[in-house]
Chain A
Amino acid sequence: MTTDRDPALDPARDLRVERLIPAPAATLWRCLTEADRLRRWWVPSPVEITDLVIEPQPGGRFFTHMRLPDGGEHRVEMMILHAEPQHRLRFTDLMTAGFVPVAQPMFGFAAEIALIAEGAATRYVATARHARPEDASRHREMGFHDGWGTVADQLAALAPSFDD
Chain B
Amino acid sequence: MQLDPELDLQLVRELNAPRELLYKCWTTPEHLVHWFVPKPHKVTHCSLDVRPGGACNTTFEVEGNLMENNGVYLEVIPNEKLVFTDGYTAGWKPAPEPFMTAIVTFEDLGGGRTRYTATARHRNPDTAKAHKDMGFYDGWGTVATQLETYAQGLKA
Query: A1-B49, A3-B54, A98-B1 are contacts. A130–B94 as well, Cβ < 8 Å?
Result: yes
The answer to whether B95 and A7 touch across the interface, beta carbons within 8 angstroms, is no
Interface-lining segment among A20-28, A48-56, A103-111, A140-148: A103-111
Query: Looking at chain A's contact residues, is the secondary structure mostly helix, strand, loop, or mixed?
Result: loop
A127 CB to nearest B CB, Å: 10
5 smallest CB-CB distances across A and B, nearest first, come from A101-B123, A3-B55, A7-B91, A131-B94, A58-B75
User: Chain B interface: which size bin?
Assistant: 20 to 34
A90 to B92, CA, bound (A): 9
- Indicate if B122 sits at the interface (CB-CB under 8 A): yes
A101 to B126, CA, bound (A): 13
- Indicate if B83 sits at the interface (CB-CB under 8 A): yes
**Chain A CB within 10 A, most for which of B85, B92, B96, B100:** B92
Query: Looking at chain B's contact residues, is the secondary structure mostly helix, strand, loop, or mixed?
Result: loop
The answer to whether B90 and A7 touch across the interface, beta carbons within 8 angstroms, is yes
Q: What residues on A are CB-neighbors of B96 within 8 Å?
A: 131-132
The answer to whether B101 and A99 touch across the interface, beta carbons within 8 angstroms, is yes
**Chain A CB within 10 A, most for which of B49, B52, B91, B94:** B94
A-B interface contact total, Cβ < 8 Å: 91
A81 to B57, CA, bound (A): 19
Q: Which of A1-52 contact B (CB under 8 A)?
A: 1-7, 10, 13
B6 CB to nearest A CB, Å: 11
Q: Which of A51-75 contact B (CB under 8 A)?
A: 58-59
- Indicate if B87 sits at the interface (CB-CB under 8 A): yes
A108 to B88, CA, bound (A): 11
Partner pick for A59 among B4, B57, B83, CB 8 A cutoff: B83
The answer to whether A101 and B2 touch across the interface, beta carbons within 8 angstroms, is no
